[in-house]
Structure 1
């Protein structure tokens, strides 16, 4: 028989489920549905309800199309909900709160994909996982659209304000909130660290596998075949011009329409049509009220919220992208294409890069390219970001290094190693995912969650019962692998002295 738990919010009562060792509340609205005239507007307050609202079923994912790495399709804009996982009430109140921002490249992902009970119960923390607008719904810009390109960011700020108002009702401490995110979620945390509207809404942050926060990415080093990528932040004026051009090109607006008329037309375009261009709108915009300055310039200058930070990367980040988007689609890097990729990515420095990463030093050309991409597109930017943070606030850096980690996305025949997203299975569970950890991996998972939740509680991951973890200002990086947690020479491992001289 299902046991229920009821909590009364300022907007009305919600009824969740009492499960083994924890309470689960799902699909709680934190803002009004951004539909109709609310499309591309700031999140509006929730309309209060009467009676008891069911909170046992996940809310709608943000509108998205299924991808090779995420088999979820949604066309419902009514998506501004969150899930909450709470340890048993008998264990007390005033717990640290961890707000989890999912990844998914800016176009995909949902709170429902993550089961945080293991993290919440073992660490005695309240975990909040929101859905927020993605892609063309989160980062679209157009002339006349106020503060465009920041709607997903503002959704997340609405989540944090909701947490400040309501989380005590779930036993959480609104004065001790950690914002954590992986991949695109980590990129968004960098924006929150700079956004004036996020000040005071969270007190610590954990950025896992944040991509290219500070600079550009050479051609092919994100995905083979993809040209050089600009910084992950779009100037507002540039985004508006681009959005207007796309709208006309795709027939969403009548050419020559004034901005007000164009926006009215755009708000009537079917969700399925807008989603066809979603991956062109994943860069948050700066130059407006929500994000006045690009994090790529603000963070190195020290213009960010000074709170304790954890920052980390995977040992083999880029194997995910090379395996999924090259080898798995029948277009692996070959001995013939490798020199071309190096030349197009690094120009006059190509010979030096090729000499440092010779093909005969790797089992396959794809793995050689994955190492270049890991070191240049992931390790170097992560290290630069960590050092920029550490110049102004306490920062702890880690590398997930279990090369036998299970893969969230199957890549048959490709050695995935400690690839992008591989640490997630150690922190949380994936409903229906079918992934299993060995005893040694489970022990590592427990220790990782102890580090994470200790950081959420105290702003420092150090624990007397775990290996020491000095902050990165000393140059220290904590390697996390089964039966070998300890310092690693991250700079040497990824050739960062060499890459510091390269484009």
Structure 2
């Protein structure tokens, strides 16, 4: 049951973020009056002009990880002759529909990135580079739906969005692979190496790279902060709604999600990979195969799919399978946890952060105020909370008696419009906001750190998911994305907030300090009272004491796994 709960948790998180990304408009391929051409290290690319900015899409940054390159670390993209048409995105990585039935879409040949940049100028100062890693629970998503023209034009930045391998294709492990290398993170590192080599060709400074991402993208940024292999590949980091310490609720507090921590020991991934190989008819590791673990006792010798001649290693057998045989809901969900204890992540990320073992770069880190509302809303039909008695029962089923009383005292149902809002609030605080603040405190001991709380209660719902009566989604998970990327329309006060957020983010990318012209000062994180509230209207942008407002002392004491203090 624990495994099923984890799969559901990751599937729902992936669905929310994929729907948010899908709301963004996609560009056509009709040529404009100007078709800019840039020479990269692998060949020339022809993009599209949009007036104040240019786009170059579908640029290969690594070789296609297909056939014998499936489950291998990314290799350099081959050079191409002539000029590559970069006027439309490349294929998205293999993934399932974020919600509902349907088979896999996308391609394993998917390691593409997209560049959005103001037109290359003469001898002006090079622009900062911002590299975006998309969310989607490591199961869904792509770089191209995120349209960063506001960041490029208003912020005068070069923005790169990246595809990376997902699910079983990106986070698989097996004894014959020597463990679980974390191919998704390795893809991202290959993209950062591409940026280091090619940024100057797009008018940007390869010595001034900011990595930023939301949800699974934020967890990726967390991983790069502590990964030895990412050293020197970036110079600033923005972590949006996905800290190193993020976790989902325990036991039955949110039944359809269950406990979920996004990072897992490598051995658990390797064991799951060996078991999956057996179920797929590929047996255990071949005799003499290198790797860790002992494989699966008593497994038949792998022979590969029908028509394969002679015994082959389990991984080679799996490489012969069609992508559709691997892209099942079970396998895509099971292999969407980032393994640690390997070369990429030697230590659990939150522990590394707590011990000060991370790259010394400035960091912006924050969450939305109502992170969990969109998740909770999708569970209420099956697990309603109609009254205070049901609310109390949910707490008593989830915590020991003392903790249940303490939580109800801090989040009394009578203090909220209804018990569902009370439950959503405590879930948001415990799973996202307080873990993020704990990580901010660990970061701030060593590097300039800036905390934020996105709090626009009228943020547009770009997910397409229907809201349930009594639970407006407000500032839910991912609802800050339209304020940074062009997607859904915003009201006038929200457009002003979007302009200010764009200014903060790009100023931070340029200088390491989010001090945008005309915007209120953003204090450096020195205490939880210095978290910047981000909301539209007069006084909407101001420092707040987030730790007190979100009852973090309770969660530090009563739910240590949720805050990394275990």
Asked if residue 502 in structure 1 is aligned to residue 546 in structure 2, the reply is: no
Aligned-partner Cα distance in 2 for 1:252–1:384: 44
Identify the residue that residue 154 of structure 1 maps to in structure 2: 186
1:72-471 paired onto structure 2 within 5 Å: 74-90=105-121, 92=124, 94-211=126-243, 213=245, 217-220=249-252, 223-229=254-260, 231-251=261-281, 253=283, 255-257=299-301, 261-276=313-328, 277-323=331-377, 325-327=378-380, 331-335=383-387, 337-348=390-401, 349-410=403-464, 411-413=466-468, 414-430=471-487, 435-463=488-516, 465-471=518-524
**Which residue, 57, 75, 78 being the options, matches 1:26?**
57
- Tell me the CA shift for residue 114 of structure 1: 0.6
Structure 2: gaps of 5 or more residues = 1-30, 285-298, 303-310, 560-566
Identify the residue that residue 68 of structure 2 maps to in structure 1: 37
CA shift digits 1:188-214 (9 cap, x unpaired): 111111111100000000000015636
Aligned-partner Cα distance in 1 for 2:301–2:128: 50
Identify the residue that residue 91 of structure 2 maps to in structure 1: 60
User: Is 2:350–2:439's contact at 8 Å kept on the other side of the alignment?
Assistant: no
Q: How many residues align?
A: 495
User: Is 2:120–2:203's contact at 8 Å kept on the other side of the alignment?
Assistant: yes
Change (3 A) 1:70 1:256: closer
CA shift digits 1:366-387 (9 cap, x unpaired): 2221111011111111111111
Aligned-partner Cα distance in 1 for 2:428–2:462: 18
- Tell me the CA shift for residue 365 of structure 1: 3.0
User: Is 1:147–1:289's contact at 8 Å kept on the other side of the alignment?
Assistant: no
Change (3 A) 1:192 1:147: farther
Aligned-partner Cα distance in 2 for 1:490–1:270: 49
User: Is 1:212–1:377's contact at 8 Å kept on the other side of the alignment?
Assistant: no
User: Is 2:92–2:142's contact at 8 Å kept on the other side of the alignment?
Assistant: yes
Identify the residue that residue 489 of structure 1 maps to in structure 2: 545
CA RMSD of aligned residues (A): 2.2
**SS, match of residue 124 in structure 1:** coil
Change (3 A) 1:18 1:93: farther
Aligned-partner Cα distance in 2 for 1:73–1:237: 28
Change (3 A) 1:217 1:145: farther
- Tell me the CA shift for residue 181 of structure 1: 0.5
User: Is 2:282–2:301's contact at 8 Å kept on the other side of the alignment?
Assistant: no
**SS, match of residue 399 in structure 1:** strand
Worse-matched range after superposition: 1-10 or 16-25: 1-10
- Tell me the CA shift for residue 67 of structure 1: 1.3
CA shift digits 1:49-96 (9 cap, x unpaired): 101110011111111001139999524100000000001234845100
Aligned-partner Cα distance in 1 for 2:103–2:54: 26
- Tell me the CA shift for residue 236 of structure 1: 1.5
Aligned-partner Cα distance in 1 for 2:271–2:139: 21
Aligned-partner Cα distance in 2 for 1:341–1:113: 38
Worse-matched range after superposition: 29-38 or 486-495: 486-495
- Tell me the CA shift for residue 248 of structure 1: 1.9
- Tell me the CA shift for residue 249 of structure 1: 3.0
Worse-matched range after superposition: 118-127 or 485-494: 485-494
TM-score under structure 1 length normalisation: 0.94
Asked if residue 478 in structure 1 is aligned to residue 532 in structure 2, the reply is: yes
User: Is 1:60–1:74's contact at 8 Å kept on the other side of the alignment?
Assistant: no
User: Is 2:243–2:439's contact at 8 Å kept on the other side of the alignment?
Assistant: no
- Tell me the CA shift for residue 256 of structure 1: 3.3
User: Is 2:36–2:54's contact at 8 Å kept on the other side of the alignment?
Assistant: yes
Aligned-partner Cα distance in 2 for 1:122–1:33: 35
- Tell me the CA shift for residue 268 of structure 1: 1.7
